[in-house]
Structure 1
Amino acid sequence: MKSKKLKSALSFLLCIVFFSTNVQAELSQDQLTAKNKGIELYNQFKAISATPQLKIAADAGDHEAQYYLGEAIRKNKKYMTPEALSAYEASALQGNIYSMIRLAGEKNDLCVAMGNCPKGRKEPGEWGRVAIDTAGVEAAKGSAEAMYLMFIVTGDDKWLEKSAEKGYAFAQYFLGVSYREGRGFFLLPSSRAEVVERLMKSSAEGGYPQGMLEYGAILAEKKDLQGFRFWNEKAAETGYATAIFGYGSNIGKESSEFGYTYDPIKSYALLHLLLELDGGGGMPDYVNYVLPNISDKMSPEQIEKAKKVSKEWKDSHPPLSFFPDKL
């Protein structure tokens, strides 16, 4: 019986490898633009607006767009709809491990509960096995991201550590937070703090915005305010909404405890830009609480100039994003 199941799993895995290497969608420029816009909107917590854009690329066969389409529909509806399930399955059949993981976790599907899924439909347990096999193959090739996904599907900490050691910036951040919250064993508290700092520094240098803010906070605790300012500004330049809010708020203070130079025009410009994030996350509420304190000290001419600076920033920097965890 075990042999039969193993053969079935191997055959299915080979089928996925075939699809992922031979049926990779080539998007037109319009389809690629729609995909990128859809992901941008999704990362701004605008799942409803993202859905039609993602659908354009998903219908063209792009597995990443199919995954994000499934995410957008599921999060908007707050449950796994047949349309979301279909998007995940189309993506998973092209080898997308994120979609496999989503399908592996879908235990509440009615056909699974009733034990009467259509012939050929894979149940969550089978998708879980395929996710492990597929991620394992990629991890063996040296993919640090696949090593992180092996941690997700197996729960084995060694994969998270390997991913961080291999340089996956998100894994470095995740492991650093985990250690800070008590994961792992360290003989001395100072040893734990040193490892957390090293991981956050690596994550920041690897380009992960939340890692930049965490490392900046560590430097602030050590009274390195120049380092704190540097990493907060770097994080803001990635488009990370939280960092832009913090940076913009700080330079709008006439006396900053972190040593920022007072710049009300740039402060207004950055905070005004965040008002676009009206899909979720409550950012406009935060901005509208802070912005009047800054604008009250500005002339109408300064405010007009700030609005132009806001547009210039938007045109010259990556799109605004909350950088939600992909899983």
Structure 2
Amino acid sequence: MNLKWLIPITVISYLCSGFALAQLSPEQATAKEQGLILYNQLKPSYATPFLSIAAEAGDHEAQYFLAESLRKKNHYMNPESQKWYEAAADQGDLYAMIQLGRNDDSLCKNLQNCAPVQKPAIEWLKQAQHIAKPKAENGDAESMYIMYELTVDKYWLKRAADAGHPIAQYWMGIAEKQGEGFFLPWQRQDSIEKWFKASAEGGYPKGMREYALLLSEKNDMEGYRKWNEKSALTGYVSTIFEYGSDLAHEPDLYGYPLDAVKGYALIYLLKELDGGGGMQADVKDQLQKISSKITPEQIAEAKSFAKTWKETHPPLSFFPEKLSR
């Protein structure tokens, strides 16, 4: 399995400055992969035992996502999640430093179970900025994006986007789509399209989806089909659902040739998301609609197709933001 598909963003270098990285055994690496798949499918409780194996072995990425899973499961940074954030931060993980720096401890104070901290939250943010800023000023796109997360200064988001960071490009497009920035009326849409196109070409599935939708608004259905399919091929849940629905003509909006068997298969794949994302009602409804159009033999063929797809394509993922709130 290709690990690049397991991380929530597609261009992560982790910026570990001079820290040794843990070497995982094959069993530990497999556990980490499975944990990341489940995490990206919004199943933090299921991900925890797998991520724990690699985290205990000293892998800072597993430590970070274990901390995220525990925090999400408990809805706040409890002592256990704090421990793993600190373990990752001690290895130079800037994302862990940022989460420690953002921590609002009001809930644990109310519950009277706050854990002792290594350092105040502001010190973690200062440490992250001390590491990231020189790299950003030297042209590193991810460090620029980290600086945006640290400062909430759109200057750094724009610099990261200009430097080719596809997630920064996506967020530039979203911000302008929501009305940010100053443009002449005919310029805004061109700028939005520029950012989403760059994000899509940079490999970010959410950018691909936004660019596809933008093309459909321009009545470029061929362009929509191209980028919607590309996004689905990454395992992105939203576009797999849309692609399957389009192929089955439920509804027929974008001019896909009818292929109800493949459409059923792609929607059927999403039954795997029984613990995350709240999609099962939509999946059940869509499968019922498509099954009314095809025979039991075709349904069996579709299920076989779904099995083959799963074995030959990246795992399903919601591609959650790495720095979740």
Please give the TM-score of this superposition, normalised by the length of structure 1: 0.89
Q: Any residues of structure 2 matched to 1:288-303 within 5 Å, and which? A: 288-303=284-299
Distance 2:138 2:40 in 1: 29
Structure 1 residues 264-298: Cα deviation after superposition (integer angstroms, max 9, x where no partner): 11011000010000112111111111111111111
Matched residue pairs, number?
Answer: 307
Partner of residue 6, structure 2 = none
1:31 counterpart letter in structure 2: Q
User: Is the CA contact 2:173–2:196 (under 8 Å) kept in the aligned structure 1?
Assistant: yes
Partner of residue 229, structure 2 = 233
Partner of residue 106, structure 1 = 103
Mapped pair 1:219 → 2:233? no
User: Is the CA contact 1:172–1:202 (under 8 Å) kept in the aligned structure 2?
Assistant: yes
How far did residue 106 of structure 1 move?
Answer: 1.2
How far did residue 26 of structure 1 move?
Answer: 0.9
Structure 1 residues 163-220: Cα deviation after superposition (integer angstroms, max 9, x where no partner): 001111111001110011111211x122111111000000000111110111011111
Partner of residue 84, structure 1 = 81
How far did residue 53 of structure 1 move?
Answer: 0.5
Partner of residue 123, structure 1 = 120
Mapped pair 1:172 → 2:169? yes
Distance 1:301 1:174 in 2: 45
Secondary structure at 1:21 match in 2: coil
Distance 1:255 1:77 in 2: 39
Taking only aligned residues, the RMSD between alpha carbons, in angstroms, comes to 2.1
Q: Could you say if the C-alpha distance between residues 117 and 263 of structure 1 is closer, same or farther in structure 2, counting changes exceeding 3 Å?
A: closer
Partner of residue 14, structure 1 = none
Partner of residue 10, structure 2 = none
Distance 1:146 1:268 in 2: 42
Which of 248, 261, 267 lines up with 1:265 in the alignment?
261
Distance 1:152 1:132 in 2: 10
1:137 counterpart letter in structure 2: P
Q: Which moved more, 1:22-31 or 1:222-231?
A: 22-31
Distance 2:144 2:260 in 1: 45
Partner of residue 139, structure 2 = 142
Which of 300, 309, 313 lines up with 1:313 in the alignment?
309
Distance 1:254 1:148 in 2: 39
Which of 252, 260, 263 lines up with 1:256 in the alignment?
252
Mapped pair 1:304 → 2:300? yes
Distance 2:19 2:38 in 1: 30
1:169 counterpart letter in structure 2: P
Q: Could you say if the C-alpha distance between residues 22 and 202 of structure 1 is closer, same or farther in structure 2, counting changes exceeding 3 Å?
A: closer
Partner of residue 68, structure 1 = 65
User: Is the CA contact 2:245–2:251 (under 8 Å) kept in the aligned structure 1?
Assistant: no
Q: Could you say if the C-alpha distance between residues 254 and 42 of structure 1 is closer, same or farther in structure 2, counting changes exceeding 3 Å?
A: closer
Runs of 4+ in 1 over 3 A off after TM superposition: none
Structure 2 residue runs of 5 or longer lacking an equivalent are 1-14
Secondary structure at 2:192 match in 1: helix
Distance 2:135 2:191 in 1: 27
Higher helix share: 1
Distance 1:36 1:179 in 2: 35
Structure 1 residues 110-133: Cα deviation after superposition (integer angstroms, max 9, x where no partner): 68xx9x985x82110111111111
Which of 160, 178, 183 lines up with 2:180 in the alignment?
183
Distance 2:273 2:250 in 1: 26
Mapped pair 1:244 → 2:224? no
How far did residue 257 of structure 1 move?
Answer: 2.3
How far did residue 149 of structure 1 move?
Answer: 1.1
Q: Which moved more, 1:129-138 or 1:229-238?
A: 129-138
How far did residue 254 of structure 1 move?
Answer: 7.5
Q: Could you say if the C-alpha distance between residues 20 and 57 of structure 1 is closer, same or farther in structure 2, counting changes exceeding 3 Å?
A: farther
Distance 2:261 2:74 in 1: 40
1:271 counterpart letter in structure 2: I
Structure 1 residue runs of 5 or longer lacking an equivalent are 1-16
User: Is the CA contact 1:58–1:69 (under 8 Å) kept in the aligned structure 2?
Assistant: yes
1:177 counterpart letter in structure 2: I
Q: Could you say if the C-alpha distance between residues 97 and 306 of structure 1 is closer, same or farther in structure 2, counting changes exceeding 3 Å?
A: same
Q: Any residues of structure 2 matched to 1:48-67 within 5 Å, and which? A: 48-67=45-64
Q: Sequence identity of aligned pairs in percent?
A: 50
Mapped pair 1:203 → 2:234? no
Relative contact order, CA 8 A, sep 6+: which one is greater? 2
